[in-house]
Amino acid sequence: AGPCDLFSSGGTPCIAAHSTTRALYSAYAGSLYQVKRGSDNTTTNIAPLSAGGVANAAAQDTFCASTTCLITIIYDQSGRGNHLTQAPPGGFSGPESNGYDNLASAIGAPVTLNGQKAYGVFISPGTGYRNNAASGTATGDAAEGMYAVLDGTHYNGGCCFDYGNAETNSHDTGNGHMEAIYFGDSTSWGSGSGSGPWVMADLENGLFSGLSAGNNAGDPSISYRFVTAAVKGEPNQWAIRGANAASGALSTYYSGVRPSVSGYNPMSKEGAIILGIGGDNSVSAQGTFYEGVMTSGYPSDATENAVQANIVAAKYATTALTSGPALTVGSSISLRATTACCTTRYLAHTGSTVNTQVVSSSSTTALKQQASWTVRAGLGNSACFSFESVDTAGSYIRHYNFALLVNANDGSKQFHEDATFCPQAGLNGQGNSIRSWSYPTRYFRHYSNVGYIASNGGVHTFDAATSFNDDVSWVISTGFA
Ligand code: AHR
Ligand code: AHR
Ligand code: AHR
């Protein structure tokens, strides 16, 4: 049985079921998600390998070979058509044209389920999905449940990495107009014990960790790589539950009456579905989503416990984030541009600016050092890499406003993540393309001989589709110094 078969048996059927990793009904063999590739802007649908099975990641890899791919649609497996697509602007605008949010890279969150490769939805700040015309979702004070499987190590304090029920007009229409799972370490509204991240409920104008607005010590900090997060609500009753998605059982972090703050009892749920954003399209948050559902009716703890056992049996596990020619931690490297204009140019820096410069064996020692980088384990994720400046120990290549800079490591989580990159086989067939860990739609690119993290055809000048594959492909060799 799949999670939604278990919710049906429990009398609280799924009215939306979303996953890029697997079928959530044992009989589901339809499309899980759609990807669009950068080379020709065509799309394809990815289905499970067999009914009830894991996504056919190899089909994605083939379709997306030698180009970039975005996740354009996350299909609803419930049969209700509650698909998630690129979120439109609301109270806040996204970074894409006309205020739409970014779409997620199709390769930012590789995992295995029972040893079979699949991809999750890696939400960078600015990314979001939504359905403002969902059918069968709870409205008003009606009962519902929801769970999601997330990456417990990918989060931030921005508003709001959510999955669940939100406003149908993408604006903040008041307390109680949402009921969604939140995951992250925002302390703007609520918090739990420790320093986070926490599973909380986004009930609009408040992330709630328990009965009271603010801190509720019963809501624990989460340190699982894979986390099951659950929220459910019915008249004057709601709960937060959570677990390690790879082993063990759900714990109840809160179960009880609604917050006493005005507007949350009764609730005024509107029934849209959001992923990765706040109800008003707040787009500052990050997180990774693998699967999730929403139900009609308040699921019993026993039903949710059976679903948790099903998730554990799916055996989520990590897999490589890198591919292509291997890098060796501790070695000094150079990165040579491969665009026809620029094949004598290497990634270098002038002060804090990252650029490309013509470098050769007869260059000055200073220039050789400016164009040499020491490979370090990724500061934000040790499965990827960071690049320390050879002439400025303690300073690393990082992105800031999508420009590459050389800055001193200030020890912050933000810096560590901005300085973490995951090399993959070069998109033009040469060397490596160096993907940003935190913005996996974006790669090291030279544009007018200046360094950026660029997406393929995005809104910035340096995102130009022309020459993209060449500009993001670098031949890595032993450093000059
Ligand atoms: O409740 C927290 C956030 O507040 C909501 O997600 C958003 O709509 C509002 O800004
Ligand atoms: O480069 C994109 C973002 O810009 C970085 O993550 C952040 O440090 C800055 O705001
Ligand atoms: O960085 C040099 C060139 O500048 C790039 O190849 C091109 O895309 C841009 O015009």
Q: Quote the strand ranges of 128-236, DSSP E.
A: 129-131, 144-151, 162-166, 179-184, 198-202, 207-208, 226-234
What pLDDT score does 32 carry? 99
Confidence (pLDDT) at 258: 98
**Which atom of ligand 2 is closest in space to residue 399's alpha carbon?**
1
Residue of 101, 175, 282 to mutate, ligand 1, most atoms within 8 A of C-beta: 282
What ligand has the least distance to the C-alpha of 407? 2
Six token digits for residue 188: 């703007």
pLDDT value of residue 343: 98
Ligand 2, atom nearest to 400 Cα? 1
Which regions of the chain are under pLDDT 50? none
Query: Residue 212, Cβ neighbours under 10 Å: how many?
Result: 12
pLDDT at 91: 98
Q: Which residues line ligand 3 (CB under 6 A)?
A: 339, 341-342, 446-449, 467, 471
Alpha carbon of 20 to ligand 3 centroid (Å):
35
Residues across the chain: 481
* C-alpha–C-alpha distance, residues 426 and 469, integer Å: 8
Measure 464 CA to ligand 3 centroid, in angstroms: 9
Angle at CA of residue 242, ends 238 and 244, nearest 5°: 170
pLDDT digits (tens, 9 = 90+) for 340-385: 999 999 999 999 999 999 999 999 999 999 999 999 999 999 999 9
Would you please indicate which residues are annotated as catalytic (active-site) residues?
Answer: 204, 280
pLDDT at 406: 99
> Which protein residue's CA is at the shortest distance from atom 9 of ligand 1?
205
Residue 33 bridge partners (DSSP): 46, 74
Q: For residues 258-290, b (16+ Cβ closer than 10 Å) or e, as one string?
A: bbeeebbbebbbbbbbbbbbbbbbbbbbbbbbb
Structural contact between residues 123 and 275, judged by C-beta atoms closer than 8 angstroms: yes
CA of 283 to the centre of ligand 3 (A): 30
**Contact (CB, 8 A) for 5 and 25:** yes
The confidence score (pLDDT) of residue 384 equals 98
pLDDT at 97: 97
389 in ligand 1 pocket by Cβ < 6 Å? Answer: no
Closest ligand 2 atom to Cα of 415: 8
Kindly report the pTM of this predicted structure.
0.98
Tokens matching residue 350 = 């002038």
Residue 480: per-residue pLDDT: 98
**Ligand lying nearest the CA atom of residue 414:** 2
d(CA 432, CA 442): 14
How far is the centre of ligand 1, averaged over its atoms, from the C-alpha of 143 (Å)? 21
Ligand nearest to the CA of 125: 2
At 160-218, the pLDDT tens digits run: 999 999 999 999 999 999 999 999 999 999 999 999 999 999 999 999 999 999 999 99
Ligand 2, closest atom to CA 417? 6
- Of 280, 281, 284, the one to substitute when testing ligand 1's pocket (max ligand atoms within 8 A of C-beta) is 280
The Å distance, Cα 38 to ligand 1 centre, comes to 33
